[in-house]
Structure 1
Amino acid sequence: CAGCGGKISDRYYLLAVDKQWHMRCLKCCECKLNLESELTCFSKDGSIYCKEDYYRRFSVQRCARCHLGISASEMVMRARDLVYHLNCFTCTTCNKMLTTGDHFGMKDNLVYCRLHFETLIQGEYQVH
């Protein structure tokens, strides 16, 4: 086992980064999350990471909506100085996904579809 160095005599084992692991030994080196049931794990300089810790430590940018890392090869949406995963660029009110060419507005660094932004702005300027 790449984790504990012990012999693997279990019926099942995990194969990650071309090494064999006891199911109980494949853990994130940062948070110690057991990765046996995770779909992905990440490796850097011989250490194993869960997705969140890998992106937290090694990503350059973070999504303004979900706060997870954005890899250099990912397609993104940009608004002002903020960057979003494509799936995260949604209206704060209705969660409608916004794509290139869609009209949207921003208030307090939150994204709104055109309808909800106009409703928000109209509500601010009503005379009471």
Structure 2
Amino acid sequence: MSSASTEPKTCHQCKQTISGGKCVQAMGVNWHEDHFLCQDCKSKLIGTQFMEVGGVPYCQKCYLSKHADRCKGCSKPIADKAIVALDAKWHQMCFRCSKCEKPIMKDQSFQVDGGKPHCVKC
């Protein structure tokens, strides 16, 4: 016969017992509500979108500025879907024909000349 564990919960960040306060369960561990913060800016992450890098939480803004992949076309962080082409990642609207400047859609064929994409029409 097995019994449920009655051990008190401890916070991942400070290793202290969580009692009386709210317990946040995130990334597979328990946190004191006041300790579940962005690693960089220290903003509270409860009720927000956060990203995990190496077991550490980051708010979306800090994640994008320091850890997100960068677009080959504009060098800005990629927060959403990306096009992977020519050994790089691109925003969908940044992957353009280098001759006519029209976006090359993800299901559209393209050619490469001098390491740059060209739509089939050009």
TM-score between both structures, scaled by the size of structure 2: 0.50
Q: Give the structure with the higher percent helix.
A: 1
The structure number with the bigger radius of gyration is 2
